[in-house]
Amino acid sequence: MWPIFHKFGSPPWLYAIAGAILRWLLPITLLALVTGMVWGLLFTPSENVQGNSYRIIYIHVPAAVVALAGYYVMALAGAVSLIWRMKMADVAMKAAAPVGAALTFVALFTGAIWGKPTWGTWWVWDARITSMLILLFLYLGVVALYEAFDNKEAAGKACAVLSLVGMVNIPIIYKSVDWWYSLHQGASIKFTGETSIHPSMLYPLLLMIAAFYALFTCALLLNMRAELLQREQRTQWVQKLLSKDVVN
């Protein structure tokens, strides 16, 4: 356990391993995204009540699911950097924020577009949508807060505290459709009990959820690599990297 922990604390190791993972994960992710989108758009049957507008589910649900999962990653990284002063956790937290913001934006935007033909409105201030909007502000808040400090150590601490405080929003998002009356439906895919979605629609949806998880991982690693290079520019390993291959 400890050797691995130490390795994760080593910037050159993290930079190299992230690059090695990306070399195969990024092409697979893009392929899965394209496959899932084409499948969902053109090769699934239409839905009885909503017609074809339901096809937005293949991007809306994965984006929302991973936007939430991404928040755990960001808050956990924030906690690790606060408690153990682990610099690489701070890098991960900073890298996760813009990706999470983008995914939350996708969830909100596709939800608004889906709402128009289905509910007759682009937007309602119901609990689910409002708490997702707060999630977007939390992500953007971390991005902005980091930039607001000149002292990056203080910035990291402030962002870690903000992301941890923001954790209270997560159960609210999960439970919002059960606790409050809402236009949103409850979960159709359940780990326990009956899943109320036909396999012809379930499989492409599961593929897209997996693809969005992979997308988050790729974007996180890409951001971490860029951030590592910038933070470690004065160190020997970056100088060595530069003399080896100038632009790669």
Partner 1 sequence: MYFDSLHAALDMGGHGFYVWTAYSVTIVMIALVVIAPVLRRRRFLRQLAGQLKRAQVATAENTRGER
Contacting positions for partner 1 (CB under 8 A): 26, 33, 37, 41-46, 51-53, 55-56, 59-60, 63, 98-99, 102-103, 105-106, 109-110, 113-114, 116-117, 215, 218-219, 222-223, 225-226, 229-230, 233, 238-239, 242-243, 246-248
Question: Cα–Cα distance between 67 and 135 in angstroms, integer?
Answer: 9
- Kindly state the smallest distance separating residue 103's Cβ from partner 1, in Å: 8
Choice between 96 and 127, CB closer to partner 1:
96
Say how far apart CA 247 and CA 97 lie, in whole Å: 27
**36: part of which helix (H) or strand (E)?**
helix 11-42
Distance in Å, CB of 134 to partner 1, minimum: 20
Closer residue to partner 1, CB minimum distance, 46 or 195 = 46
SS3 category, 47: strand
Give CA–CA dist 81/76, Å, rounded.
9
Give CA–CA dist 88/59, Å, rounded.
Answer: 31
User: Residue 51 or 171: which CB sits closer to partner 1?
Assistant: 51
The residue type found at 45 is: P
Q: Quote the least distance from Cβ 172 to partner 1, whole Å.
A: 24
> Residue ranges of the alpha helices (H) in 43-126?
57-84, 87-119
Asked whether the beta carbons of 144 and 97 are under 8 A apart, the reply is: no
Taking the complex as a whole, how short is the minimal distance between the CB of residue 190 and partner 1, in angstroms? 25
Measured CA to CA, the distance from residue 14 to residue 238 in angstroms comes to: 13
Non-local (6+) Cβ contacts of 27 within 8 A are none
Looking up tokens 């939430």, which residue turns up? 68
Q: 10 vs 230, which CB is nearer to partner 1?
A: 230
CB of 225 to partner 1, least distance (A): 6
Q: How many CA atoms lie within 13 A of 7 on its CB side?
A: 10
- Complex with partner 1: residue 104 or 131, whichever CB lies closer: 104
- CB 118, min distance to partner 1, A: 9
Nearer to partner 1, 82 or 90 (CB): 90
